[in-house]
């Protein structure tokens, strides 16, 4: 698609803006022979003056600043005047307090302008940072292809990264990557698997998806704490510590996905830690609850991996910057402790999750819905605003491991569970949990 076709695919309401044109030498800052002719041919072919156009737009019922790249204009490359337009687009979003949506298709920096082209990446990074500091969201739609500095700034630097199916995505373009490189790694689907893209969205679903994201990232009025979900089972309070453990470990107990589906009108996933990792046992994103946006992080009953904690920290910090309340669902036997997890930085990732929750200026609400296994669970729990279901437990360590450390036999695991004070009602008595939540209304 051309830049304008890409715009038309998501909105029928677009008002173009143009920055003041700076005088420049015909063949650019390097006096590159034939550069003026190349630009003239690109302009004649595409009808555009540059590789980027921008303006204000309505996507559904949400207004935004919209940027679109024209790949037919010198490969959608970034030069000095491209930088002018991108910087002006970010400034317009700040001035009007609007989110920024970018429809990206680029081959990187423009060789004919040399280092002048390359330093446009610094201008874009600065403009993006200012918009981030203003508490305004950035959404990138990555089209085919998106490589080089455009991917590493406008694309990957966005808060939410959506990609079109089959799009070629990567810092290295097809002509400069290693000959034996796995081609899948440079696709939208490969980047999704690596946690660099939040979702792959078919073109016909893009307008609706963007509208939902713009709604979910827009907060009006004061940020109120997320409501505590109601319990999805009517299991009674456990009589003993071991009863609590067995109820929490029951295969019949409701899991995170069921809680999220019951709580949200719709939810939109945020995928991956942006460091090349994902954790299938952790769900994160933003959804609408009673018409208000809420960010969520939910453990799914498995040992949480370092990528999961880094993803959680990423989502909590995004929510804090945009003023979104956070809901966390705790359900894990503990942090993954295999050698691979240690090599992936388990300790640092858990510390980062603790820090993100501790530093959050927005309210964080936690519901323990199953196992609360040690620090791996506590890292996602809100100090002073944690609640528990009757089929959950929270413990400094699993009873079996506690018995092993204390050199007790298997026959003493149950009594050890009683000593740990891990039942839901114990947690309320200890001041760890504010309440044991009741079941949802029938």
Q: Which ranges constitute the DSSP H helices of 276-336?
A: 306-322
What pLDDT does 442 receive? 41
Q: To the nearest whole number, what is the mean pLDDT of the chain?
A: 94
Q: What percent of the chain is modeled with pLDDT above 70?
A: 99
**Residue 261: enclosing H or E segment and its boundaries?**
helix 256-263
For 180-192, the pLDDT digits (tens) are 888 889 999 999 9
Dihedrals phi, psi of 169, to nearest 5 degrees = -135, 130
Q: Provide the 10 A C-beta neighbour count for residue 40.
A: 11
For 252-303, the pLDDT digits (tens) are 999 999 999 999 999 999 999 999 999 999 999 999 999 999 999 999 999 9
Distance, in Å, from the CA atom of 164 to the CA atom of 221, rounded to the nearest integer, reads: 34
Distance, in Å, from the CA atom of 114 to the CA atom of 123, rounded to the nearest integer, reads: 15
* Peptide bond just before 371 cis, omega within 30 deg: no
Distance, in Å, from the CA atom of 312 to the CA atom of 354, rounded to the nearest integer, reads: 10
Phi-psi region of 195 (alpha: psi -120 to 50; beta: other; left: phi over 0): left
Distance, in Å, from the CA atom of 99 to the CA atom of 11, rounded to the nearest integer, reads: 15
Name residue 289's beta-bridge partners: 292
- The pLDDT of 107-124, averaged and rounded, is 94
Name residue 372's beta-bridge partners: 332, 394
pTM: 0.94
Distance, in Å, from the CA atom of 22 to the CA atom of 123, rounded to the nearest integer, reads: 16
């Amino acid at each position: 698609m051309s830049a304008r076709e890409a715009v038309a695919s998501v909105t029928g309401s677009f008002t173009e803006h143009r920055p003041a044109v700076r005088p420049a030498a015909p063949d650019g800052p390097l006096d590159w022979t034939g550069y003026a002719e190349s630009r003239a041919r690109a302009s004649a072919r595409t009808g555009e003056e540059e590789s980027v156009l921008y303006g204000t737009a309505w996507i559904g019922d949400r207004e935004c600043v919209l940027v679109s790249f024209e790949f037919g204009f010198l490969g959608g490359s970034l030069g000095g005047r491209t930088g002018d337009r991108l910087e002006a687009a970010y400034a317009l979003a700040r001035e009007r307090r609007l989110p920024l949506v970018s429809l990206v298709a680029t081959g990187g920096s423009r060789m004919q302008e040399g280092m002048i082209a390359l330093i446009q990446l610094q201008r874009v990074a600065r403009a993006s940072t200012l918009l981030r500091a203003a508490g305004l969201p950035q959404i990138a739609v990555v089209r085919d292809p998106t490589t080089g500095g455009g991917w590493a700034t406008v694309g990957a630097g966005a808060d939410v990264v959506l990609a079109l199916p089959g799009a070629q995505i990567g810092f290295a373009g097809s002509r400069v990557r290693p000959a034996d490189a796995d081609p899948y790694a440079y696709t939208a689907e490969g980047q999704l698997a690596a946690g660099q893209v939040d979702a792959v969205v078919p073109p016909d679903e893009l307008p609706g998806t963007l509208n939902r994201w713009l709604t979910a990232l827009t907060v009006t009025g004061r940020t109120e704490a997320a409501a505590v979900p109601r319990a999805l089972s009517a299991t009674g309070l456990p009589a003993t510590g071991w009863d609590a453990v067995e109820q929490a470990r029951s295969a019949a107990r409701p899991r995170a996905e069921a809680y999220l589906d019951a709580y949200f009108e719709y939810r939109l996933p945020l995928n991956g830690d942006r460091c090349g990792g994902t954790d299938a046992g952790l769900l994160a994103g933003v959804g609408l609850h009673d018409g208000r946006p809420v960010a969520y992080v939910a453990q799914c009953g498995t040992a949480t991996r370092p990528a999961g904690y880094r993803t959680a920290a990423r989502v909590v910090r995004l929510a804090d910057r945009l003023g979104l309340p956070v809901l966390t669902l705790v359900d894990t036997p503990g942090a993954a402790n295999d050698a691979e997890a240690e090599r992936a930085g388990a300790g640092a990732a858990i510390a980062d999750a603790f820090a993100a929750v501790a530093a959050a200026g927005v309210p964080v609400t936690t519901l323990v819905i199953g196992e609360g296994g040690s620090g791996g669970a506590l890292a996602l729990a809100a100090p002073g605003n944690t609640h528990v279901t009757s089929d959950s437990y929270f413990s400094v360590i699993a009873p079996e491991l506690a018995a092993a450390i204390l050199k007790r036999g298997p026959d003493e695991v149950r009594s050890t569970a009683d000593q740990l004070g891990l039942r839901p009602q114990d947690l309320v008595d200890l001041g760890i949990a504010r309440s044991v939540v009741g079941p949802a209304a029938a």
